[in-house]
Amino acid sequence: QVQLVESGGGLVQAGESLRLSCAPSGGTFSGYVMGWFRQGPGKEREFVATIGRSGAVARYADRVRGRFTISRDDTKNTVYLQMNSLKPEDSAVYYCVADQQWIPTTGYKPRYWGQGTQVTVSS
């Protein structure tokens, strides 16, 4: 069982940056594929980014590619989502996820989820 805890959300203005962090509550991320999903108000939950076990491979949703960067530091047992050039439409609850298999960009619900952290971008 993997318990995930997100941090780093908040209120920013359009064009600014935020970095989200995700750490396990006990245990380790080693050996897990990690990722981020988000759910905006009145919207369905959607894939944002995923990173492989070694950190060498990452995938992004089209609407965040080039602005967001996912990374992992297994020595610190932490996964990050660096979000730059934020837009109001990026406002959402962001969820850290983990799975023992690769996380596709569509049509798949990862096995483990955090409680989420709110990101609000004002115009």
| pLDDT reported for residue 113 | 96
The confidence score (pLDDT) of residue 112 equals: 95
Q: What is the pLDDT of residue 26?
A: 78
pLDDT at position 28 is 85
The letter for the amino acid at 6 is: E
Close Cβ partners of 7 (under 8 Å, ≥ 6 residues apart): 20, 21, 22, 23, 117
At 69-90, the pLDDT tens digits run 999 999 999 999 999 999 999 9
What pLDDT score does 1 carry? 76
Amino acid 12: pLDDT: 98
What pairs with residue 6 in β-bridges? 22
Q: CA dist 97 to 1, 6, 32, 90, Å?
A: 12, 10, 10, 18
* DSSP three-state, residue 121: strand
Q: How far apart are the first and last CA of the chain?
A: 39
Low-confidence ranges of the chain (pLDDT < 70): none
| pLDDT at residue number 29 | 85
For residue 25, the model assigns a pLDDT of: 87
